[in-house]
Amino acid sequence: MIISIASGKGGTGKTTVAVNLALALEGTMPIHFLDCDVEEPNAHLFLYPEIKHSETVNLPVPVVDESKCDGCGKCAEVCAFNAILAFKSQTIVLPELCHGCGGCTLLCPRGAITESPKEIGEVETGRAGKIKFSHGRLKIGSALAPPLVNAVRKTAHGRGPDSGLVIVDAPPGTSCPVVASIKGSNYCVLVTEPTPFGLNDLMLAVDLVRELDIPCGVVINRAGLGDDTVSSYCSSEGIPILLEIPYDRKYAECYARGGRLVEDFPELRDALCGLWRKIAESSGADRDGTARRREMAEI
C-alpha cells in the first residue's frame, strides 16, 4: 500500500500531515517513510532518523567520440530534452539538460556514444524508531529532481504486497518531481488550506491525480482560517474531505519548535488514525497496510 501526501502549493502542512500520520501508525504495521521532496527535504527535522546508509546517485550522460561520429543527427532526433545537438562539424552534449535515458547511445548507428556518470545527489536511508526512513538530497546546481526521486522510491522496492505501508511525502506543486513521487500510488492525500490560493492549487493537484488515475481525498489544514470554497469545490467534485485540522496557534508553535503534533495533542493522534481508516476503507486496503484493489506500484 502506497499513500502519497501531496499539495498543489508549498506551506499547506503536507509534511506535517505525512510525518504525523507515520507517527500515529508507528508500531501498528511496518511503515516506510519516503521524503521525495529532494530539493528541500525536511521530514528528518521531525522524525530524527538515524541514517545508516548513504549512496550517491549518478546519471549516465553521453560522451561523443568525434572520430566515429558522422553528424547523422539521429541522437538529436531522439532526444526529447534537446540535450544533444548534432551539427555537420560537431555533436554537442548539454549535460545540464540530459535525463540519462540512454536513447541516443542506443540509437547511434556508428557506436560513437559512450556514457559517463554525472552525480545528481544522494539517497540516505535509516530508521526513525520503528519507521524505516529514506530521503534524497539533490546536489546544488542539479536541475534533475525526477531521477533522484525515482532513486528514493526504489528504496521501497522488494517489500512485497504484504509488507505494510509506504508513505510518500511528495514535493509541493504539480510538476515533474511530483509526478515521479506519486505515480503508482494506491491513494493520494491532497493537503490544502481554506483560502483562494489553496483552492486554486488544489484544483491543479486534483487534475494531476485524476490524470494519473490515483484515488484522492483532501485534508484541510488551518480549517476556520478562510472561507468554505474548498469544501464547496470538494462537494461539487465528489472528493471526500478526510480530515480538517483546526487553525490553532498551539499547533503552529509545536511545528515551529520541531515538535510532533501527535505526541503533544492526543486529539490529533486520534484524528490521524481516523484519516488512515478512511483511506484504507476507500482504497480497499487492509488495516495492516496491504493493498487489495491496486497492485503494488511499479516505480
| Interface contacts to ligand SF4, rule CB under 6 A | 62, 64, 69-75, 78-79, 81, 83-84, 86, 91, 98-104, 108, 110, 112-113
Q: What is the 3-state secondary structure (H, E, C) of 35-91?
A: ECCCCCCCCHHHHCCEEEEEEEEEEEEEEECCCCCCCCCHHHHHCCCCCEEECCCCE
Which of residues 95 and 226 has its CB atom nearest to ligand SF4 in the complex?
95
Closest approach of Cβ 182 to ligand SF4, in Å? Answer: 23
Closest to ligand SF4 by CB, 103 vs 289, is 103
* Least distance CB 37 / ligand SF4 (angstroms): 24
- The minimum distance between CB 10 and ligand SF4, in angstroms, equals 28
Q: Which is nearer to ligand SF4, 69 or 212 (CB)?
A: 69
Confirm if 135 and 123 have CB atoms less than 8 A apart: yes
| Interaxial angle between packed helices 196-211 and 229-237, expressed in degrees from 0 to 180 and rounded to the nearest 10 | 20
Nearer to ligand SF4 among residue 71 and residue 246 (C-beta):
71
Residue 118: CB atoms within 10 Å:
17
| Cα–Cα nearest to 39, from 171, 176, 191, 178 | 171
Q: Which is nearer to ligand SF4, 89 or 236 (CB)?
A: 89
261-276 burial by CB neighbour count: b if 16+ within 10 A, else e?
bbeebeebbebbeebb
Closest approach, Cβ 57 to ligand SF4, in A, equals 16
The CB-of-52 to ligand SF4 minimum distance in angstroms stands at 32
